[in-house]
Amino acid sequence: MSFDTVWTNGRLWTGRVGKMGIPDQIVDRGCVACTAGKISFVGRSEVLPTPIDAKRIIDVEGRLVTPGLIDCHTHVVYAGHRADEWRMRLEGCPYQQIARSGGGIASTVRKVRQASEEELFIQSARRLEALKADGVTTVEIKSGYGLDAENEAKMLRVARRLGQQCDVSVSTTFLGAHAVPPECSDKDAYIDDVITRQLPRIHGEGLIDSVDAFVEGIGFSVDQVRRVFDAAKRLGIPVKVHAEQMSLLGGAQMAASEFHALSADHLEYLDDEGVSALARAGTVAVLLPGAFYFLKETQKPPVDDLRRAGVPLAVATDCNPGSSPMSSLLLAMNMACTLFGLTPDEALLGVTIHAARALRLDHEIGSLEIGKRCDLAIWDVETPAELAYHLGVRPLFRRVWRGNG
């Protein structure tokens, strides 16, 4: 057998999960081989016939090798910043009050609408580079700061272009139902616009991999979001939801039980029925500790209940200018452990195979298995727990995307 590249002498954390939900043991003196961008061998070096027949052989000298990391919830495409609002919040003004008085999401909407596609690309690429420096090889990117057909499409075109030009895979999410735009006073009328104008047109341009919505007092009601999801379902697009972040409205339960949502995200206020609904539907719970931290929230997501119910837990940055201006997935892992009580192993599963499942890409990425894309992160650490442990170190040695790197 002839390979394109073989990485030898690694300590492999495969991300494969056994029947009991326990990850495989580390494979010492392990090899990963790549052929045409896909993994064609993974396992102990002894198993490979010697001499190894490959165009390129890279000795990683005992370093830890994991699947490339996956950030399954970001708003990385945006313009400007909201440091002014952060100062107001530090002085005691609540996030929801800022949103209700025309700031918050609406202030980023103004900046995104003003920005050219090129400006938006340049500003967003900078944040994407920071994510990549943490070993990220796949990123989900949402719209939601355009809030009309033209600007939502502009955001998702930028997202697609990032995927074409930045050596990273991008999964796009249409989040037209993120907030009501400044020019519209009626939420139901805006939802009509999302369903009849934005969604069909932007889907027609091939820009939508999934549909998201924000169920919250400052966002939309369960009934309004149900209408959006019905429209997505008619077009055959999978859905996910921002839900139970600041209050319990039942958005996660609706999305899971009625639409088999890929994921429900935030979930600080999720109740028992919501947990059961996620478990039954196989919906991934995406934890976003960056937003919890940055908004100084105190109510934590019911991690013990989710775990007991067997709901897969993913972890993401929620990179956005208002509630989580964070472009480090390793830091999100640290916060998931320190703030929410995940184990370091759970945090790593949360940015690999469980994150892949939240994007319905678990057949292609998220673990080191033959046939999957050869996306790897090679680390200057001894143990997987160190990935979530070091703060601000960025222990990445080498990032491999589709066999390159």
Residue 338: which of 371, 289, 291 has the closest Cα? 289
Which of 8/328 has CB closer to ligand NIG?
328
Which of 244/375 has CB closer to ligand NIG?
244
Which of 85/318 has CB closer to Fe ion?
318
Residue 15: which of 38, 45, 40, 42 has the closest Cα? 42
To Fe ion, the closest distance from the beta carbon of 75 in angstroms equals 6
Stretch that binds ligand NIG, among 15-23, 41-49, 100-108, 356-364 (CB under 6 A): 100-108
Stretch that binds ligand NIG, among 12-20, 268-276, 321-329, 395-403 (CB under 6 A): 321-329
- Partner whose binding site includes residue 3, from ligand NIG, Fe ion, none (CB under 5 to 8 Å by kind): none
**Selected binder of ligand NIG within 27, 54, 105, 168 (CB under 6 A):** 105
**Selected binder of ligand NIG within 67, 104, 181, 238 (CB under 6 A):** 104
Contacting residues for 240 by C-beta, under 8 A, at least 6 apart: 173, 210, 211, 212, 255, 261, 262, 263, 264, 265, 286, 358
Contacting residues for 95 by C-beta, under 8 A, at least 6 apart: 89, 104, 295, 322, 323
Task: List, as one string, the DSSP characters of 184-241.
Answer: ---HHHHHHHIIIIIHHHHHHTT--SEEEEBBSTTSB-HHHHHHHHHHHHHTT--BEE
Q: Say whether residue 181 binds ligand NIG (CB under 6 A).
A: no
- Partner whose binding site includes residue 163, from Fe ion, ligand NIG, none (CB under 5 to 8 Å by kind): none
- The span from the CA of 319 to the CA of 385, in Å, is 23
Beta bridge partners of 265: 242, 286
Number of residues near ligand NIG (by CB under 6 A): 13
- The span from the CA of 364 to the CA of 318, in Å, is 23
Q: Which of residues 292-331 bind Fe ion (CB under 5 A)?
A: 318
Residue 254: which of 217, 218, 283, 289 has the closest Cα? 283
**Selected binder of ligand NIG within 40, 137, 210, 245 (CB under 6 A):** 245
Residue 123: which of 70, 76, 163 has the closest Cα? 76
Per-residue contact flags (x/-) with ligand NIG for residues 198 to 217, judged by CB under 6 A: ----------------x---
* Chain residue at closest Cβ approach to ligand NIG: 322
To Fe ion, the closest distance from the beta carbon of 332 in angstroms equals 12
Stretch that binds ligand NIG, among 51-59, 315-323, 339-347, 381-389 (CB under 6 A): 315-323
- The span from the CA of 43 to the CA of 24, in Å, is 12
Q: Say whether residue 143 binds ligand NIG (CB under 6 A).
A: no
* Chain residue at closest Cβ approach to Fe ion: 318
Stretch that binds ligand NIG, among 37-45, 316-324, 339-347, 374-382 (CB under 6 A): 316-324
- The span from the CA of 190 to the CA of 201, in Å, is 16
Total residue count of the chain as it appears in this document: 405
Q: Say whether residue 289 binds ligand NIG (CB under 6 A).
A: no
Residue 405: CA atoms inside 13 Å, Cβ hemisphere, count? 23
Q: Say whether residue 242 binds ligand NIG (CB under 6 A).
A: yes
Bond before 51 cis per omega within 30 degrees: yes
User: Which residues in this chain contact Fe ion in the complex, by CB under 5 A?
Assistant: 318
User: Which residues in this chain contact ligand NIG in the complex, by CB under 6 A?
Assistant: 104-105, 108, 214, 242, 245, 291, 318, 320-324
